[in-house]
Amino acid sequence: MSYWNRPFFPESCSGDTLSDSETYDTMVRIVGSFAGIAQAFKVVADNYGWKHIVSLSDEDNSLSKTCWMYATSLDDLFGNNENYTFKWLRLRSNPTVEDIDDTLQQIRSRTRGCLLCLLTAVL
């Protein structure tokens, strides 16, 4: 970056591939990738002995949506890991009271009451 004197500060550094400093040698990464954030959460989960994890996001799967990208990273990390029970719940747009009640019931039945979620436009 200093050699070319053309630093690139991206709006979002969500992709793991952007960590490759040989390919992206002028990029300044300010924040970790979503996969890195999921790894950080795993460290917290391991520290507290959490084995049953529920992630709640909306169902908008466009790549520009933060909730979807974060939930995808958690699913990649915990979804097929035999040491954890992981469930990714997706709440549809404009959920009804029944949808919210059903989602809360699923969270209660799958966890011990701790909730990690990213709610957008639900309340």
CATH number of residue 64's parent domain: 3.40.50.2300
Q: Tell me: do 40 and 89 sit in the same domain.
A: yes
Do both 40 and 54 map to the same domain?
yes
- Please tell me whether residues 19 and 77 are part of one structural domain: no
| pLDDT (0 to 100) of residue 104 | 85
28 lies in the same domain as 79 = no
Count of domains observed in the chain: 2
Residues 70, 89 within the same domain: yes
Residue 101 lies in a domain: yes
Please give the mean pLDDT across all residues of the chain. Answer: 75
Residues 39, 40, 43, 49: is their CA dihedral positive or negative?
negative
Residue 122 forms part of a structural domain: no
pTM of the model: 0.63
Domain that holds residue 5: 1-32
Quote the pLDDT of residue 100.
87
**Is the domain of 78 the same as that of 112?**
yes
Fill in the amino acid letter for 109. S
Indicate if 101 and 46 belong to the same structural domain.
yes
Residues 6+ positions from 47 with CB-CB distance below 8 Å: none
Beta strands in 25-100 (DSSP E): 52-58, 85-91
pLDDT value for 45: 87
pLDDT tens digits, 33-76: 788 888 888 998 898 888 888 888 877 776 557 777 778 888 99
